[in-house]
Chains A and B, each alone.
Chain A
Amino acid sequence: MAAGVSNLHGETSYRYRKFKSDSMMAITVGATILTLIPLFLVLGYLLTKGVASLNWAFFTHMPAPVGEAGGGMANAIVGTLEVVGIACLIGVPIGVGAGLYLAANRASQFTNWVRFSADVLMGVPSIVVGIFAYAVIVRPFGGFSTLAGSVALAAIMIPLVTRTTEEMVLLVPPELREASLALGVPHWRTTLSVVARTALSGITTGVILAVARVSGETAPLLFTAFGNRFWSTSLFHPINTLTVQVYTYAISPFADWQRQAWAGALVLTGIILALELGVRWVTGGAAKAPR
């Protein structure tokens, strides 16, 4: 339309429109660059400030008494592993089982309600989940505990695992299920040994992404697992975790603790990114966490 028009006014107008278009699209590129700057800044500072403080003591020592320099985050690292591990023990069977149910009963109204609940749960702020765990575990049992922290994290994990399990199972071609049934394999065995087995890598991916997500949570642990200066792995006592430890040190006035906070943050981010990237690398970039 504009080509071939030798009208001066038309040409100027087109040049202006083209200029405007190029500028706007350049602005979007600028927005992308601007958005990615914090990513590199955060990772960069983590590396520079954190590496300096990483030493053998960091991984093997307990936190030092208030005001004293030195010490490490050994109990925090182990604590995170324990709290997250137990959260998995609670959350994964429930999430996977519920996901299997949703995939197998697509038409029922009950399924719609469950799916809706899972979606709603995903939008609940994690600190509110912490309050819930406080109300049902800490209050009745009379104290902070690893169990309470795990229950809070499990409550965050369950809707995530449920949705990804359902999605992955639905991706399995229905012909596979029919082929198994036609061999005279009962329904339940077909669902477990054929359908779920085929979807297994996808389900595992969903679980790992959920683990990565809850490993980074701090708020729900603040008044459930609470934190512990000393070594403790008991299920019914407070336990230290990496996130809470970093938080406590970061807001403290002690320079040495702040320095250690960077190291802790580096280790924490390293673990989480390793999980997120690892899962994507193994699945060829197909993994995407539900929002």
Chain B
Amino acid sequence: MSDSIPVVRHERMRAPVHVRLFGDRIFNTATFILALSILALLFGLAVALIADSFPAIRAFGLHFFVTADWDPVNDQYGALPFIYGTFVSSFIALAVAVPLSLGVALCLSEMAPDWLSHRLGFLVDLLAAIPSVVYGLWAVFVMGPWIRDHVEPPLAHWFGWMPLFQGPKVAVGMLSAGIILAIMIIPYISSVCTDVFRVVPHTQREAALALGATKWEMVKTAVIPYGMTGVIGAIILGLGRALGETIAVAMVIGNSAQISTSLFKPAATLASVIANEFAEATSDLYVAALIELGLVLLILGIVLNVVARALVLVVQQRRYRETGR
């Protein structure tokens, strides 16, 4: 059977032992170094930001966070307007995005048949693929004017007694920024919520239905409570995204370092002011102050991201404990 065919000798395959182990050692070391570089990247990021914002930290200390005076001419910097702008715009974004995202997630997980649900989910995810600058462009020339002409008048008419909705109606301002942010974070929140709802065990749903619950009652008693932790995680994830969103906001928020109560007025966020002023920052202290704003963003972004992931993990682990999957 095997006689007439030349035999492949073991000798030909035998490379010296130390060469082979060498190969393993090189490969393991190489991938280890590459993995280490990720730790180094995170560490380096934090160190660079702290180091380069140090002049501002030393100059202003904690006053930085409560002072509203942003005055490059006199080298006086206070971050309050941007902290205010970031949180208000994010709040508007969440107020609009969360109900919509929950609606989308429930529709995809409970209502639509599988084939439709996946296609619709794909379309919603596509919202996340559109670049920020494109959203900004559209917001400046299409959405902003539309809000000025069709949204702000009714708001001013019905709620004008609130300081929130007073003042001249403009296309760029806090409200527009909040709305474009909402559009941009919906895909993230809804995607996580959809996954969370889909993961609710059938047994939970069937238990509710077997008791005669309507679909909505089943959702209210079985699906949402089960996924509540994950939903909160999704919201926090969305908040993290909103905080860090720069370009679309910078294009549509008006970039004014003034705090005002009206949503129709221009404002600025931590991210938008960095985008607008960094390249032209003149003095060292100016740059350091901007970097300190970036440091705030970094810390906020990290904290929110970690909390969000921890919550989603809790949901996954709970499901695993209860169902083994």
Direct contact of A and B (CB under 8 A): yes
A-side residues, CB < 8 A to B, are: 1-2, 17-18, 20-22, 24-25, 27-32, 34-36, 38-39, 41-42, 45-46, 93-94, 97-98, 100-102, 104, 110-111, 113-114, 117-129, 131-132, 134-136, 139, 155, 158-159, 162, 184, 186-189, 191-192, 212, 215-219, 222-223, 226, 243, 246-247, 250-251, 258, 261-262, 265, 268-269, 272-273, 276, 280, 285, 288, 291
* Residue interface mask B141-177, A partner, CB < 8 A = 1: 1110000000000000000000000000000000000
Interchain CB contact (< 8 A) of B190 among A35, A93, A265:
A35
Chain A hits for B118, CB < 8 A? 285
Within 8 A of A (CB), among B97-134: 99-104, 106-108, 110-111, 118, 120, 122-127, 129-134
Given contacts A123-B304, A127-B246, contact A247 B136 (CB under 8 A): yes
Grouping DSSP codes into helix (H, G, I), strand (E, B) and loop, the B interface class, with mixed when no group exceeds half, is helix
Chain B hits for A218, CB < 8 A? 131-133, 246-247
Interchain CB contact (< 8 A) of B278 among A222, A247, A276:
A222
B318 at the binding interface (Cβ < 8 Å) = no
Shortest CB–CB separation between residue A93 and chain B, in angstroms?
A: 7
Given contacts A31-B107, A123-B305, A124-B302, contact A102 B35 (CB under 8 A): yes
- Cα distance A155–B100 when bound, in Å? 32
Asked if A125 contacts B38 (CB within 8 A), the reply is no
Most A-side CB within 10 Å, residue of B35, B45, B192: B35
Asked if B131 contacts A97 (CB within 8 A), the reply is no
Asked if A258 contacts B141 (CB within 8 A), the reply is yes
Shortest CB–CB separation between residue B56 and chain A, in angstroms?
A: 13
Chain A hits for B302, CB < 8 A? 120, 123-124
- Cα distance A146–B13 when bound, in Å? 47
Shortest CB–CB separation between residue A262 and chain B, in angstroms?
A: 7
Chain A hits for B285, CB < 8 A? none
- Cα distance A280–B121 when bound, in Å? 13
Asked if A219 contacts B275 (CB within 8 A), the reply is yes
* Total B residues in contact with A, Cβ cutoff 8 Å: 94
B251 at the binding interface (Cβ < 8 Å) = yes
| Chain B residue nearest in CB terms to A269 | B134
B23 at the binding interface (Cβ < 8 Å) = yes
B135 at the binding interface (Cβ < 8 Å) = yes
Given contacts A20-B214, A35-B104, contact A125 B244 (CB under 8 A): yes
Asked if B137 contacts A246 (CB within 8 A), the reply is yes
- Cα distance A132–B134 when bound, in Å? 25
B263 at the binding interface (Cβ < 8 Å) = no
Asked if A243 contacts B237 (CB within 8 A), the reply is no
Given contacts A31-B100, A94-B34, A291-B191, contact A45 B142 (CB under 8 A): yes
B5 at the binding interface (Cβ < 8 Å) = no
B232 at the binding interface (Cβ < 8 Å) = no
| Chain B residue nearest in CB terms to A191 | B27
